[in-house]
Amino acid sequence: MASRTILFAVLAVIIAGASFGAGWVANSMLTPPARTDKVIMTTDWILWGYTTPFFVAKDQGFYSKEGLEVDVLRGVGSADTVTKVGAGVSHFGLSDAGTVQQVIAKGADVKIVQMYTHTNALGLRYIEEKTPIKSAKDLEGKTVGEPTASAIWQMFPVFAQKANIDINKVNHADIAAGVTVSSLLAGKVDSIGGNAFTTPTISIDAAKQGLTVKNLVFSDYGLNLYGYAILSQNKLIKDNPDLVQRFVRATTAAVVWSIKNPDKAIEIYKKYNPEADLAIHTAVWKATIPYLMDDLAKQQGYGYMDDAKMKITVDTVNQVFSLSVKPDQVYTNDFVSKVPKEQRLP
């Protein structure tokens, strides 16, 4: 009898313990994080429509669910953003992948932790009514207005080779960045450099003059490079990988949600940027969406960087800017790969 009493007592303890454990697991899944980490995310430039997913992450609770309070700040150029992240002024940054590599070559202590736009949108802009261009070959005999030191003009010879353009037949006007758009609209040059998904920032106003701005995107001619990337400081990656993981996981969820809900996403952007022209930035956001995913990302999941494509990107930037940076200095898939693939597909 005594032994049976002891047995029942033991079973009661086990059952109670199991119930407590189950309850603890359930409650821990429902309970918000005990602490909130304040994080600074700096973009490459003005908070245009292509930054929409970062505001979605704030508004829809993707960041807060991960215990993150994120301030999204505008940048003053990709290189400056990379420098700020390397110095620890900003925890994360958005920058063109090629620029990240260039600043790494100068000693920046950073690494790409997630791709943002899987297709590079750099290229040229032209006015259809003034300079009808049916193919890249039609640039021969035309004038490209772009600062000599700009990444686009530095990349132009590689593009020309891919597109079978005789670069000696293309005229170059070395004009200041601040007057490229006005020079194009005035017909002083036939084409200028630009990012395809930011073209709406000038095309809407151009349309009022009866002009149509078109893009000639380098990636359409075989220059298959990665675009914008999210980076962090190597020290932060080493000392606080959990913070990086949470940020990557939340940002991924926000991008996927934004792709699925493009109209709701831009309304959220407007909520956080009330001074922005909704027509322009809706057009920018919608122009951005096709560049967020490429065929590889559709197979591997958003944010993941294909080793072969990344090597092409790094090798091309090394060639153009006379660098000797190795791919493993530039990026890591350690964080993206820990987000289940099904969660990285729209």
List, for residues 5-19, the tens digit of each pLDDT value. Answer: 433 343 343 334 443
Strand, coil or helix: 143: strand
Q: Do domains 37-119+226-344 and 122-221 have the same CATH topology?
A: yes
Residue 292 has pLDDT above 50, yes or no: yes
Chain-centroid distance of CA 52 in Å reads 11
Tokens of 291: 């560049």
> Model confidence at 32, in pLDDT bands (50, 70, 90)?
low
pTM, two decimals, is 0.88
Rounded distance between C-alpha atoms, residue 41 and residue 112, angstroms: 14
Q: How far is CA 190 from CA 194, 217, 266, in A?
A: 13, 15, 33
Matching residue, tokens 């092409």: 312
Per the CB < 8 A criterion, the answer to whether 120 and 312 are in contact is no
pLDDT at 7: 37
Tokens of 54: 């970062």
- For residues 209 and 32, the model is more confident at 209
Strand, coil or helix: 116: coil
List, for residues 301-338, the tens digit of each pLDDT value. Answer: 999 999 999 999 999 999 999 999 999 999 999 999 99
Q: Which fold has domain 37-119+226-344?
A: D-Maltodextrin-Binding Protein; domain 2 (3.40.190)
pLDDT at 205: 85
Q: How far is CA 311 from CA 12, 129, 284, 306, 314, in A?
A: 60, 39, 29, 9, 5
Q: What is the arithmetic mean of pLDDT over 183-196?
A: 96
> Model confidence at 35, in pLDDT bands (50, 70, 90)?
confident
Mean pLDDT for the chain?
91
Domain residue extents for the chain: 37-119+226-344, 122-221
List, for residues 16-31, the tens digit of each pLDDT value. Answer: 444 333 332 333 333 4
List, for residues 56-98, the tens digit of each pLDDT value. Answer: 999 999 999 999 999 999 999 999 999 999 999 999 999 999 9
Which CATH number is associated with domain 122-221? 3.40.190.10
Rounded distance between C-alpha atoms, residue 256 and residue 234, angstroms: 26
List, in sequence order, the alpha helices (H) in the chain.
2-30, 52-59, 78-86, 97-105, 151-162, 180-185, 200-207, 234-239, 241-260, 262-272, 278-292, 295-300, 307-321, 327-330
List, for residues 216-270, the tens digit of each pLDDT value. Answer: 999 999 999 999 999 999 999 999 999 999 999 999 999 999 999 999 999 999 9
